[in-house]
Amino acid sequence: MMFEPIWKSLLANTTSPIFTPEQCQNIIDMGHQQKSEQARVGMQHKGTEGGYDAKKRVTTISWIPFPALPDMYKIIERSMLQVNGNHFGYEGMALGEPAQFTEYPKGGFYDWHMDADVSGTHEPPVRKISMTILLSNQSEFEGGDLEFMTPGNKPPQLMQGQAIFFCSLIRHRVTKVKRGVRRSLVQWFCGPPFK
């Protein structure tokens, strides 16, 4: 019988912010400079981006091109490699796609979902690690908790600029924002298929 090493985990946040408030504002500004769109859910088949479903997700997104903020991507990738080595242990991990800037207005939310494509229709590469960085100051919004369908389901209390990394197969959600606007950056890291 084989067991995973006891050091492995499926959820890990950085012990301190990886971006300063000024860097967070720069990311927000860059996110606002990109074409904004209403977020979709699901994927119908290869080449499509799913559809709109206000019962499942209410948020706007934009995509930050790699050349727009190269230093941001270097910091994110370096953090992921460290977290992966200390917690996940996946092989061949790399930035998989551009980062998604998200804004949840009052009433905005994203119901339970996974980031990985369990059908394998859109892979390889395989999304293995997901990351969320809180860009807003905690005082700017209420609600909008990032929750995971894990034992205890206690939402992490992220500070502005702090990152949380988690296995892309974990179901998670963002609860409804009660006041203000929650801004975050979402990134996925991909690797070869699981063996």
> In which domain, by residue range, is 93 found?
13-43+50-191
The DSSP symbol for 88 reads I
Residue 62 inside a domain? The answer is: yes
Is the residue at 39 inside a domain?
Answer: yes
Closest CA to 81 of 169, 12, 172, 136: 12
The residue type of 6 is: I
The pLDDT of residue 160: 98
155 within a domain of the structure (yes/no): yes
- Count of the separate structural domains present in the chain: 1
pLDDT on residue 44: 44
User: Mean of the pLDDT values across residues 118-140?
Assistant: 82
pLDDT one-digit tens code per residue, 133-173: 999 999 999 999 999 987 766 767 899 999 999 999 999 99
Please indicate, yes or no, if residue 125 is contained in any of the structural domains.
yes
pLDDT of 7-25, one tens digit each?
677 889 898 999 999 999 9
Residue 7 lies in a domain: no
Closest by CA to 97, choosing from 50, 64, 135, is: 64
- Is residue 76 one of the residues assigned to a domain? yes
Q: What's the N-to-C CA distance of the chain in angstroms?
A: 16
In a domain, 8, yes or no: no
> 118: domain CATH number?
2.60.120.620
Q: 64 lies in a domain? A: yes
How many Cα atoms occupy the beta-carbon half-sphere of 39 within 13 Å? 23
